[in-house]
Amino acid sequence: MKITRIQLHEVRLPLVHSFQTSSHRKSSLDHILVELTDDAGRTGWGEIASPADPFYCPETTDTAWLISEHYLVTRALDADWTTPAELETSWAKIRGHEFTKAGFVGAAWDLWAKAEGVSLASALGGTRHEVRAGVSLGIEPTVDALLAQVEKQLAAGYHRIKLKIAPGWDLEPVHAVRSAHPDIDLHVDANGAYTSDDQTIDYLLSLDAAHLTMIEQPFAPRDFVGHSRLQQRLQTPVCLDESVVSLDDLQTMIALDAGRVLNIKVSRMGGLTVAKAAHDLATEHGIPVWCGGMHEFGVGRAANVAISSLPGFTLPSDVSGSDKYYARDVIMPPVVAHDGTVTVPSTPGIGHEIDVEWVAENRLRHLDTDLAESAQH
């Protein structure tokens, strides 16, 4: 295949409910949509879902734009490829920048699946026709406000509730939600906000009493040894997110028993090809996986739905309906959850049309290789 034209669309959408983690607060998001056109006139779409600031990962929207424009666009235009994995070899020497690469990889998979006339889910080896979704709830101003959010999402039928925690917002909200809802699938995510000293590990052991499905990323990304020390003493499975950006990291997690659940975030791992390989490796080792989200717009969300249809994704994924995030999404139709379950599209590619008018209306920056430099504003 040959890519003849590339467009980058940096788009800002407001969130319907602002979201706070241990590291940052957001009320709108700026993501870059990657549009690849091939010599047959087909288009493939991918999403660079890096946050605007370097608090979750080292990348930002600006670094993603820079790396795309200076390194990925020319390589993608020059490549002659038959599979997305082959296209990726053209930028294999670029270190890091997983979110940026993931946007191009997603667009290549969409394009390739369309050329083959198959859905993205079946191109990836998906077997499920529907996937169960969970929701991730940010740090709220009060425990009551959090309990109200939990009620609302349970009423919508979501299968799992994940609570963001941080020092000062942990045991109290967790025990309040658990006593109000003794039987729900509940888990917590600290986004690396704790240090792995003995005193903190002792403190985190008290979370076992809440019967959580997992404790996600309590410590810093590189602290595999700390996560392993916690896991040896904790009954609740530790789940790694930020720590695992490559298959090598997953090997380290397995070798050290630093986690017993894996959050496969497509963007964090550099795209769908590596995400699929991570699924295969984790499944081989009996590690259950689920797909984490980055509040993706519909393009990235549709890719998350597709990968979640693989058999090892046995835990609910962060693939809630578009309406939880955006009043109007960039895809038509939006992703819809019925009773917390999302149907996997069977039409070619990501299975949704792009709302190009809405993209243009909310666009902050545009690059079009057909128009060269003049297109940037």
CA 60 to chain centroid: 15
Residue 74, exposed/middle/buried by CB under 10 A (0-12, 13-18, 19+)? middle
Comparison of 60 and 74: residue with beta carbon closer to ligand OSB: 60
Give the C-alpha separation, 156 to 337, whole Å.
9
Question: Which of the stretches 32-40, 45-53, 187-195, 345-353 binds Mg ion when contact is defined by CB under 5 A?
Answer: 187-195
Q: Does 59 bind ligand OSB (CB under 6 A)?
A: no
What does 21 interact with, of ligand OSB, Mg ion, none (CB < 5 to 8 A by kind)?
ligand OSB
Q: Using CB under 5 A, which of 189, 223, 249, 355 touches Mg ion? A: 189
Comparison of 10 and 189: residue with beta carbon closer to Mg ion: 189
Comparison of 31 and 75: residue with beta carbon closer to Mg ion: 31
Please answer whether residues 351 and 44 qualify as being in contact, where contact means their C-beta atoms are separated by less than 8 angstroms: no
With vertex at residue 329, the alpha carbon angle to CA 326 and CA 330, rounded to the nearest 5 degrees, is 145
Question: Which of the stretches 4-12, 102-110, 146-154, 235-243 binds Mg ion when contact is defined by CB under 5 A?
Answer: 235-243
Query: What mask, x for binding Mg ion by CB under 5 A, covers residues 300 to 329?
Result: ------------------------------
Which residues inside 282-311 make contact with ligand OSB, applying CB under 6 A? 292-295
What crossing angle do the helices spanning 98-116 and 272-284 adopt, rounded to 10°?
Answer: 90
26 is catalytic: no
List 261's β-bridge partners, or say none. Answer: 239
| Three-state secondary structure readout of 23-53 | CCEEEEEEEEEEEEEECCCCEEEEEECCCCC
Give the C-alpha separation, 240 to 124, whole Å.
23
When computed from its CA atoms, the radius of gyration of the chain, rounded to whole angstroms, is 20
Q: Using CB under 6 A, which of 241, 249, 329, 355 touches ligand OSB? A: 241
Question: Which of the stretches 137-145, 208-216, 245-253, 294-302 binds Mg ion when contact is defined by CB under 5 A?
Answer: 208-216
Q: How do beta strands 186-189 and 161-164 pair? A: parallel
Q: Report in angstroms how near the CB of residue 369 gets to ligand OSB at its nearest.
A: 30
- DSSP string of 84-120? HHHHHGGGTTS-S-HHHHHHHHHHHHHHHHHHHT-BH
Q: Does 318 bind ligand OSB (CB under 6 A)?
A: yes
Torsion 92-98-104-108 (CA) sign: positive
Residue 363: which of 321, 330, 331 has the closest Cα?
Answer: 330
Q: Which residue is catalytic, options 101, 265, 276, 324? A: 265
Q: Which residue is catalytic, options 26, 101, 114, 164? A: 164
Q: Does 231 bind ligand OSB (CB under 6 A)?
A: no
What does 136 interact with, of Mg ion, ligand OSB, none (CB < 5 to 8 A by kind)?
ligand OSB
Q: Does 296 bind Mg ion (CB under 5 A)?
A: no
Q: Does 56 bind ligand OSB (CB under 6 A)?
A: yes
Contacts with ligand OSB, residue ranges (CB under 6 A): 21, 56, 136, 189, 191, 241, 292-295, 318, 320
> Which residues are marked as active site?
164, 265
Q: What residue ranges bind Mg ion (CB under 5 A)?
A: 189, 216, 241
